Amino acid sequence: MIKLILDIGNTRTKLAVFDENNIVESKSVKGDFSDELTRLIQIHGTPSSCMVSTVNLSEEAVRAKIKFIKPERLFFIRSGMRLPVKVLYKTPETLGNDRLANSCGAWKLNPERNNLVIDLGTCIKYDFVTSEGEYFGGSISPGLLMRYQALSRFTGQLPYFKPIKEIPPLTGQSTEGSIRSGVENGMLEEMKGIISRYREVFDQSDIIMTGGDHSKFADQLKSPIFVAPNLTLLGLKEILDYNDQ
């Protein structure tokens, strides 16, 4: 049974077609996604249901693009909907869709263990879900690009440098090297410290890493890391299955 997932961000939309628990095809599109949506349907057929996470388009605008799915089979992730995990967050109405989806995806992938999700995107989002399926919350800090931009924006003389593929040496021997070391080695040490502190408090905690910058940092952490690039999509699919009954 084919199901569709749409993750609509401010600039890009991720589309994924699932057949049971497997991603048949996924795409990331900048701007309008109508043509890509039409192409996916032509190839894979009309989905039986769809889950949408949107921070950009209104529900009405999305429904106008997805008239081929029955209204009762078109779901929008929002605060208060049924979830496969129990949310213990004190302000669930402020909780980002991606954090909810990541936690549900972690619970689906690794239900027998405590899971700390590290999502390396615009921000670094840490989210913790227990082996009992309880979502506690986590923390948010600036991501890689944001750290580079902040140093340049909020100082008078420090220049802006774009991230590069390599992790810089610990000791920078130029202004560029010092900035790169501070930004990237600082991120590494932050992640190591957060992982260590969670494992001090919660036994049998596994680490699941996702987000656009995961490939750069996953291998740098000595702690065993489970990499799940499509964790958000998997979590949205799990939420869809939980409600589409």
- pLDDT tens column, 67-100: 889 989 999 998 889 999 999 999 999 999 999 9
pLDDT at 152: 96
Q: What is the pTM of this model?
A: 0.93
Q: Please tell me the total count of domains within the chain.
A: 2
Q: Round to whole Å and give the CA distance between 233 and 15.
A: 9
pLDDT at 56: 83
* Residue 154, φ and ψ in degrees, nearest 5: -100, 15
Confidence of residue 222 (pLDDT cuts 50, 70, 90): confident
Together in a domain, 90 and 72: no
Cα dist from 136 to 86, 114, 129, 139, 141, whole Å = 9, 11, 6, 10, 17
pLDDT at 78: 87
> What are the tens digits of pLDDT across the range 131-169?
999 999 999 999 999 999 999 999 989 999 999 988 999
Together in a domain, 71 and 173: no
Together in a domain, 66 and 82: no
Q: Is the confidence at residue 245, as pLDDT, over 80?
A: no
* Catalytic residue status for 219: no
Together in a domain, 70 and 84: no
Q: Is the confidence at residue 204, as pLDDT, over 90?
A: no
pLDDT at 7: 95
Together in a domain, 102 and 137: yes
Structural domain including 166 reads 78-245
Together in a domain, 93 and 214: yes
Q: Round to whole Å and give the CA distance between 42 and 32.
A: 18
Together in a domain, 92 and 61: no
Q: From 21, 51, 76, give the residue that closes a domain.
A: 76
Q: Which member of 7, 32, 98, 206 is catalytic?
A: 98
Q: Round to whole Å and give the CA distance between 34 and 64.
A: 11
